[in-house]
A = this chain, B = another copy of it.
Amino acid sequence: MRARVFVTLKPGVLDPQGRAIASALVHDGFAEVRSARVGKLIEVELDERDAGRARQRLTEMCEKLLANTVIERYDIELG
């Protein structure tokens, strides 16, 4: 089974990289850009067929390793 895990900064946490990207875009002529935020996309390939079980394990992975819940939140997408 394949899964996509999205790890993004919690709202309110400053995102220096996102800010730099937004201002570079505006500077480059994309005046319509209002803001940008940068997160991680982790594609995981799992030896697991059961969706429920996969989601549970991925949640554990996020809590233990993939996200730093002090500043980040995560979303899991199976399929």
Contact = CB atoms under 8 A, between A and B. Distances in A.
Number of copies: 2
Interface of A: 6-8, 18, 21-22, 24-25, 28, 30-48, 57, 60-61, 64-66
B32 A57 contact: yes
A42 B21 CA distance: 9
Given A34-B45, A39-B43, A41-B8, A21 B57 contact: no
15 contacts: A21-B65, A25-B44, A30-B60, A32-B46, A32-B47, A32-B57, A33-B44, A34-B46, A34-B47, A36-B42, A37-B42, A38-B41, A39-B41, A39-B42, A39-B43
Contact of A41 (B22, B40, B46): B40
A30 B57 contact: yes
